[in-house]
Amino acid sequence: MHSSRLTGWALQAFLLLNAIFMLAPLLVMALSAFKTNAELFAAPIAWPEQFSLDNLRLIWRETNFPRYMLNSLEVTAAAMAILLVFATMASYALARYRFRGRDLLGLLFLAGLMVPLKLAVIPLFVQLNWLGLIDSRLGLVLIYVAMGLPSAIFILTGFLRGLPHELEESARMEGASELRVMWSVMLPLARPAMVIAGIQNAVPIWNDFFFPLVFITSDRLKTLPQGLSVFMGEYNTDWGVLFAGLTLSALPLIALYVVLSRQFIAGLTSGALK
């Protein structure tokens, strides 16, 4: 969209301010990872005196970092794949068809957001135990899928509802099957919502440490936040190490996002009708 020069400058200034506001704390975090504890307390926002790798080395030495990261990647990727497929299917049904109990069903899915699943940790444990899924990555993946479905379905349904009816009607007139209408006509238009819902859910899944703490006990299956949470408990007064741990655990997701940012932007804009 184009705009007058004055509006353009005002908006640009606003966005630049916003960018500073968004980036400055991130910079503080990244820099803190390279500081000693004493330095951090003496000059928390200053540039590190020397980029000390001691904090990172400590984490590397004392935790099974690469293993944890691999586990986290596997669990998050599997959960995201299943979640997006299940959520898209359900949302499509809720948004594009009229049937009895539709609104109630939508509310049922949404209700999953209104209760802290943590409360159900004991029944969940008993159930996973019954299914033989304690100390297994699959158990975690399924919990994460269930946890992510409510918001993913809600966002996707909201977006799919807004798509014009003429598109699918004309495809049907041409004899396309329901699957074809969904796959080739409607879903491409929902890509922005899928991208947003995907990232919104990937973050809490990637960062969750509560469920792994309860359901995973073998060191070789531990996820990154879980492995680091125990480690950082030991160094809870050493903020340098703490920030190094936090930065390291955030890094994979941020790196992935930056690498895929072109696709991210493309995904976001693909819904534009013109």
* Contact set for other proteins, span 204-233 (CB under 8 A): 204, 206-207, 209-210, 213-214, 217-218, 221, 225, 229-231, 233
Is 263 an interacting residue with respect to other proteins (CB under 8 A)?
no
CA torsion sign for 255, 187, 144, 203 is: positive
Q: Which residues contact 229 (CB under 8 A, 6 or more apart)?
A: 209, 213
User: Does 11 sit near other proteins (CB under 8 A)?
Assistant: yes
Could you tell me the two tokens for 117?
């699943």
Interatomic CA distance for residues 42 and 36, integer angstroms: 10
Cβ 33 vs Cβ 244: under 8 Å: yes
Interface of this chain with other proteins, residues 126 to 155, rule: CB under 8 A: 126-127, 129-139, 142-143, 145-147, 149-151, 153-155
81 interacts with other proteins by CB under 8 A: no
CB of 45 to other proteins, least distance (A): 4
CA distance 231 to 227: 7
Work out how close the CB of 99 gets to other proteins at its nearest, in angstroms, rounded to a whole number. Answer: 6
* Span from 47-55, 64-72, 168-176, 256-264 in contact with other proteins (CB under 8 A): 256-264
The angle at the Cα of 167, spanning 164 to 173, to the nearest 5 degrees, equals: 140
Query: Is residue 173 part of the contact set for other proteins (CB under 8 A)?
Result: no
Count of residues of this chain found to bind other proteins when the rule CB under 8 A is applied? 132
How many Å separate Cα 56 from the centre of its chain? 24
Q: Which of 31, 59, 80, 90 binds other proteins (CB under 8 A)?
A: 90
Chosen residue from 26, 53, 81, 259 binding other proteins by CB under 8 A: 26
